[in-house]
Amino acid sequence: MRRPRLSKSRFMAGRQCLKRLYLECYRRDLMTPPGPAQLLLFSMGNRLGGLARECYPGGVLIEEDYLHHADAARSTRRAMAQPRVPALFEAAFAHDEVAVRVDVLVRDREGLLGDDGAWELVEVKSGLGLKEEHVWDAAIQLQVLRGCGVPVRRVGVMHLDGGYVYPGGPIDPGKLFVVEDVTLAAEDLADSLAEDLASMRAALACGGPPAIRPGRHCRRPYTCPFSPYCASDAPAFPVWQLPGADHALLERLAGEGIEDIALIPEDFEGLSSLQCRVRDCVLTGEVYFDREAAAELSTLEYPVHFLDFESFAPAVPIFAGTRPYQQILFQFSDHILDADGSVRHAEYLHPPGSDPREALALALLDALEDKGSIVAYSQFERAAIVRLAEHLPHLGERLEALVTRLVDLLPIARRSIYHSDFHGSFSIKNVLPALVPDLAYDDLEIAEGTVASFSYQSIVEGLLPAHQAQATLEALRSYCARDTQAILELFTLLKDPTQGRPSRPSPGSAG
């Protein structure tokens, strides 16, 4: 079997995990297909790439796709030979069995780089800042281009400028993006690149994937699409699921051959109280419950509101006065528990087409009124209301009054309850199915916050036909309502696990 050629994406996969690299090259059939959120993320990346090219007017796009690298390389050479071409997009090069496509290759026409015929390599990223993996990404491209004899004198990483405030009207890409010079950092990685490439080629020359066990590297810096496959023969409760387990603890456990939480000895030193609780629940199969939570929750004022927001954060700002990736609230759900045990439901979902923040704030103030504790499940709701108050100073005093009524149920849950099916996570998406199996998320069309965010953004940007947009809005209503129902259920269990579940909202009670 011929060893496959590396690319910059394969190189980055290999840096994350040699097993991922092997599987990407030989067993792509085991890869988990991208979900809706990932597909929308790819679409956003393509749009940002197009805007980034507008910063280099007159540039030439190398149109051959990645399956026709030799053709793309020939087109690249022809374009580089034309002095009037100021920049190339997706320029193709190969050296030492590594093929790359360069986001932007800029000709130094003014002699600014100190050498006639020199070029600048620009790697475009969709984030707000420079990350370590971006430098590695640029470094492998630099090595290939210099190996091909291209005089690259500067290497930059282009990313969105978090300080850019959209004034309205057409987007100015020159202000939306910023380029950071990483030339020296990329050059300093030359020796490490050689070592990494040798390791990757050795792994690809083996007759099977490297024996690398699942761990936190499966999600850092990117979520690996082979994670479900690799976890298929892993313990049901691997040690990396221990909450707060740092690298040192995981290394100690690995050194003693412990991969399963159930096999951690009782006298193993260095576990936190929460980690000990997790181990004990895995061993016994029993649910941990601390009744002190009941006393804490009994002080809440009725009616108790259970609040959850949904937001979207467009990379390219849509509303004047906003920044790239600024969180924009567009929806809330509020389950309301009265003192007699009855439950009401209020909600708001902004019709796409305008800035939702003021209309949502007014609906929120109306729903929450001026009394009753407000229970959320994280600090997100608190921060979101504070940002609303800053954006809407005429409503600031009323919104800030809501903050004083907020109670975060998450730290109370972390102190007070554990079920082995949480698998180390206190996300409401893990907690609810474990404690209330008939009220999980698997029956919903939208079942995860990232999907909700991108789905609404797709409607706002006109990417969905009308019938699909309407169905998506209904799915968003169901999803957000499920979140607040989940918080209400957890509150009820923590307050009194023998009390049973609260009554459902009466028909027609939604706002």
pLDDT in tens, 251-284: 999 999 999 999 999 999 999 999 999 999 999 9
Of the candidate CATH numbers 1.10.10, 3.40.50, 3.90.320, 3.30.70, the domain formed by 6-201 belongs to 3.90.320
d(CA 43, CA 37): 10
d(CA 249, CA 29): 34
pLDDT in tens, 332-387: 999 999 999 999 999 999 999 999 999 999 999 999 999 999 999 999 999 999 99
Whether residue 418 is predicted with pLDDT greater than 50 in this model: the reply is yes
- Helix, strand, or coil (residue 244): coil
The percent of residues in the chain predicted with pLDDT above 70, rounded, is 96
Whole-number pLDDT of residue 510: 43
Q: Which of 35-39, 234-238, 403-407 has the highest mean pLDDT?
A: 403-407
Handedness of CA 221, 226, 228, 231 (dihedral sign): negative
Tally the C-alpha atoms within 13 A of residue 132's C-alpha that lie toward its C-beta. 6
Whole-number pLDDT of residue 470: 95
Q: How confident is the model at residue 509 (pLDDT cuts 50, 70, 90)?
A: very low
Q: Which of 2-11, 172-181, 232-241 has the highest mean pLDDT?
A: 172-181
The string of DSSP letters for 284-324 reads: H-PPEE-THHHHHHTTPPSSEEEEEEEEE--SS--STT--T
Whether residue 195 is predicted with pLDDT greater than 90 in this model: the reply is yes
Neighbours of 344 (CB within 10 A): 17
pLDDT in tens, 338-352: 999 999 999 999 999
What's the start-to-end Cα distance of the chain, in Å? 63
Overall size of the chain counted in residues: 511
Single out the residue of 310, 329, 307 nearest to residue 387, CA to CA.
329
HEC secondary structure over 250-291: HHHHHHCCCCEHHHCCCCCCCCCHHHHHHHHHHHHCCCEECC
Q: Which residues contact 336 (CB under 8 A, 6 or more apart)?
A: 303, 304, 305, 306, 343, 344, 345, 346, 372
| Mean of per-residue pLDDT scores for the chain | 93
How large is the average pLDDT for residues 381-398?
98
> Could you tell me which CATH number the domain at 293-495 has?
3.30.420
Q: Report strand pairing: 374-376 vs 328-337.
A: unpaired
Per-domain boundaries in the chain = 6-201, 235-286, 293-495
pLDDT in tens, 71-115: 999 999 999 999 999 999 999 999 999 999 999 999 997 777 766
Whole-number pLDDT of residue 499: 57
Whole-number pLDDT of residue 507: 40
Single out the residue of 141, 144, 143 nearest to residue 157, CA to CA.
141
Whole-number pLDDT of residue 498: 65
Whether residue 425 is predicted with pLDDT greater than 50 in this model: the reply is yes
Torsion of CA 484, 489, 492, 495, to 10 degrees: -90
Single out the residue of 176, 473, 178, 156 nearest to residue 315, CA to CA.
176
Whole-number pLDDT of residue 438: 86
